[in-house]
Amino acid sequence: MATVAVALATAFTFDNGIKAIKMLFPVFEKLVVSSLVARPRKEPSVEDVLLRRCTILFEALESAAQNAGNKDLPPAVVSATKLLLETLEGVVDMAKQNENATLITRILTSSQYQQALEKAGDTVTAISSDINLVLNLHLSPAEIAAEFKAAAERDHDFLLESMQQLLEMHHGKLYKELQLQHQDVLEALTALDSRIKDLQAKEQCEKSQILLGRVYKHAAVSISVTSGVQPQRSDAERALQHLRVTSFDFSDAPDGKIGRGGFGLVVRATWNATGTRVAIKRLLRLEGSGNSADSSIRELVAQEALMWSSLHHPHVLPLLGVSLTCETPFFVMPLMENGDLSSYAVGRPQEHVRLLHETAQGMAYLHSKRIFHGDLKANNVLIDYSGRAKVCDFGMARLLAAAGARASAYSPGSSAGNVRWIAPERYAHGAKYQFEPDVFAFAMVVYEVIAGKVPFSNEHEPNVIMFSIQQGKRPPAPTTAASYSPTLWAVVERCWNQDLSHASTVYGYCLPDPWPVGSP
């Protein structure tokens, strides 16, 4: 999909939309042919119908452009092209993942895959209806809808036949067919258990759902009997039942990677059940902990997730889900498309005070819950779709340290990236403090946002930065910055006061009365 992304690097236009669609067709056609080989049939599937109907639409749209010459195309034609492209991209991504999926993944996602294909069919039918009169195509939307419906029924029957065949397999053979790696056994059992509970919660189930439930149970027994693994859950894990997810619940997005830091990798993904785009934080530093031998580490992750799930504040990032059984544990969070505070604040000086105030409110809330952040910086404040600040990554250092991981990003002086925000008292042997280091870090965040650069940006040697902070050196006031004000800078100076007898919490020092709200 990278080539399509390049074609659409600029704002959408009809021409680049047509170009991107043309690039997708060979890929989609190859996937459909591969599907035919995997499950031969005489009558067309939904995938077959999608390919044919999308081709007809594409040819009509391309012909309309040629006939129009230099004239502007009707808005309905441009909108139809954009929607057709989005639909094709989604179908191709799904088909790719389905083609490469193991049997256990196909079992767990079969219903969702079929529903997604049927939804794509509805969209293609709607596009045909929208441009039918505009381009005088003489298409029959009712006929197209009937064609998709018949194909969906055939696919449904084929799925039932496949599930019945799985039920007839003995445990050893099915386990082998599932192609499970040992480290994935617990994750698969957890996913199957969740699916079974979801079906049991339904008041009424269709025939296919009842059969699918039997397949889930048969697969779970086959895995347990053959592998010898029996899931054991702690009280904390059971308390997180409503947030429990597995890697089988998500599809990686083509533009997946968001960032990588001391904790692990953050990627974009799609929640298969809802189609919602989310962010997943994979705790790479705890890789290999998601198996029965590492129940103590799973318990630590569960405790952290339990704490996080109890937090509800408009300026604290919420937790949507947690996987405790994946080989690499992960958290699921809302996708913050506006990025972090560091990048979002650039070129928006009129919003700086509001964003900092929201960050302070989030930190004050954490401290009111007796939670020490430990790694506050502008990169750990995310911005939602409406431009509101959300504090994130609190408690991660404690989790890694407790799990026995070498949390270098949080050991004072061991990380070139983080020493710029580490308070001097964290270097003092035997020093007693509660939330004061967070207060100091907040002052550095204020500087970051106003100055538009990290503290001590001209210095690249961590030890020099550490020594400077310990000696009381602080970044100079960025008096020429657009959002600078003496009142705001007074807050900064109070926050990084090294006299612990005068340092309190972010609530006391970052929300003074009056806080300099409004334009600086």
- Is 45 in contact with 35 (CB distance < 8 Å)? yes
CB-count burial class (<10 Å; 0-12, 13-18, 19+) for 507: middle
Residue 439: count of CB within 10 angstroms of its CB = 27
CA distance 290 to 301: 10
CA distances from 22 to 11, 46, 62, 125, 130 (A): 18, 20, 10, 20, 21
Query: What is the token pair recorded at 518?
Result: 């409004």
Buried b (16+ CB within 10 A) or exposed e, 313-326: bebbbebbbbbbbb
Mapped onto helix, strand or coil, the DSSP state of residue 254 is strand
Check whether 281 is labelled as a binding-site residue: yes
Q: How far apart are the first and last CA of the chain?
A: 45
CA distance 170 to 226: 11
Q: Got the DSSP string for 175-218?
A: HHHHT--GGGHHHHHHHHHHHHHHHHT-SS--HHHHHHHHHHHH
Mapped onto helix, strand or coil, the DSSP state of residue 70 is coil
Sign of CA dihedral 58, 101, 208, 275: negative
276-282 sheet: strands from edge to edge: 250-260, 265-271, 276-282, 330-334, 321-323
Buried b (16+ CB within 10 A) or exposed e, 252-287: ebeeeebeebbbbbbbbbbbbeeeeebbbbbbbbbe
Query: What is the token pair recorded at 451?
Result: 């100055």
Query: What is the token pair recorded at 149?
Result: 């419906």
Residues 30/36/38/41 CA torsion (nearest 10 deg): 180
Phi/psi of residue 381, nearest 5 degrees: -125, 115
- Is 393 in contact with 380 (CB distance < 8 Å)? yes
Closest C-alpha among 453, 444, 458, 452 to residue 496: 444
Cis peptide leading into residue 141 (ω within 30°): no
Q: What are the binding residues for ATP?
A: 281
Q: What are the binding residues?
A: 281
